[in-house]
Amino acid sequence: MKGPFGLLRGTSDPGLLRPAIARAVGLGVLWLVLAGGNPVDLAPGAVAALAATWVSLQFLPPGAVSVRPASLAGFTFRFLRQSVVAGVDVARRALDPRLPLHPGLVVYQTGLPPGPSQHMFTTLMSLLPGTVPTGPAPGSGLLIHCLDVEQPITAQLAAEEALFSSAIGWKQDNG
């Protein structure tokens, strides 16, 4: 199949069916939320969801990881709480007259495989307290900019990563 984008990846693999349906359902729900539940909006919604799903499958083929809903819910809850902590932390430092900052770079070794799951983790990391990932470091390291290098950053990140890994169903070699 050669689409207008000049892509050659076939979409007839049976293993692709489940992630394809999952994405189509997710995008369909997003359409419902954006456009409302009016019956006349359902047909274009289906077209839009299918188009977006097709593009999504072309650009991001389903990987080996599979999302586990129960762990994901737990992770999301904790993540939201952590991002509140992050906002409060920044506000406290910004408004403190003494400006208590110890900015610096820290290298963090990740057990996540390079690629989408690692990028997803670093994306979420920039919403966690005190950390903004700034790029890859030698080996499997990630360079992290911290507002306060005196905090136990790597231990905290390791805890977050363990939760994230279990949410996306990724088994780490070193436990």
Partner 1 sequence: MAFDAVLVVSVLGVAAWTVAARDTFAAVVGFIAFGLLLALVWVRLAAPDVALTEAALGSGLTGGLLLAASTRLGRAGMTAASETPGSILRLAAVVVCAFVAAGLVALLLLLPEPAPTLATQAAANIAATGLLNPVTAVLMAFRAIDTLLEVVVLLVALLGMWSLAPDRLWGGLPRGSGLSDPDGLLTFVAQLLVPVGILVGIHIFWIGSVAPGGEFQGATILAAMWILTAVAGLVDAPATSRPWLRLLLVAGPAVFFAIGLAGFAIAGSFLAYPPSYAKLLILTIEIPVTLSIAAMLALLVAGPPEREPQR
Partner 2 sequence: MRFALDALTIFAVAAGAFFFLAGTVGLLRFPDALSRVHALTKADNLGLGLIVVGLLFQTEGLLAGLKLVAVWLLALLAGAAVTQLIARIAQAGGPRV
Query: Would you tell me which residues interact with partner 1 (CB under 8 A)?
Result: 4-7, 23, 27, 30-31, 34-35, 41, 44, 47-49, 51-53, 55-56, 59-60, 114-116, 119-120, 122-123, 136
- Helix boundaries (H) for the chain: 17-35, 42-59, 69-95, 116-125, 153-168
Exposure of 80 by Cβ count < 10 A (0-12 exposed, 13-18 middle, 19+ buried)? exposed
Do 128 and 83 form a contact (C-beta atoms < 8 A)? yes
DSSP state, residue 11: -
Q: Among residues 15, 37, 69, 152, which is the contact residue for partner 2, using CB under 8 A?
A: 37
Is 50 a binding residue for partner 2 by CB under 8 A? The answer is no
Q: Among partner 2, partner 1, none, what binds residue 53 when CB lies within 5 to 8 Å by partner kind?
A: partner 1
Q: Among partner 1, partner 2, none, what binds residue 83 when CB lies within 5 to 8 Å by partner kind?
A: partner 2
Rg (CA), the chain: 20
Partners of residue 107 on adjacent β-strands:
143
Q: Among residues 11, 22, 26, 30, which is the contact residue for partner 2, using CB under 8 A?
A: 30
The piece of 3-11, 50-58, 63-71, 124-132 that touches partner 2 (CB under 8 A) is 124-132
Residues 6+ apart with CB under 8 A from 160: 82, 121, 124, 125, 128
Binding string, residues 129-148; x marks residues near partner 2 by CB under 8 A: xx-xxxx-------x-x-x-
Q: Among partner 2, partner 1, none, what binds residue 158 when CB lies within 5 to 8 Å by partner kind?
A: none
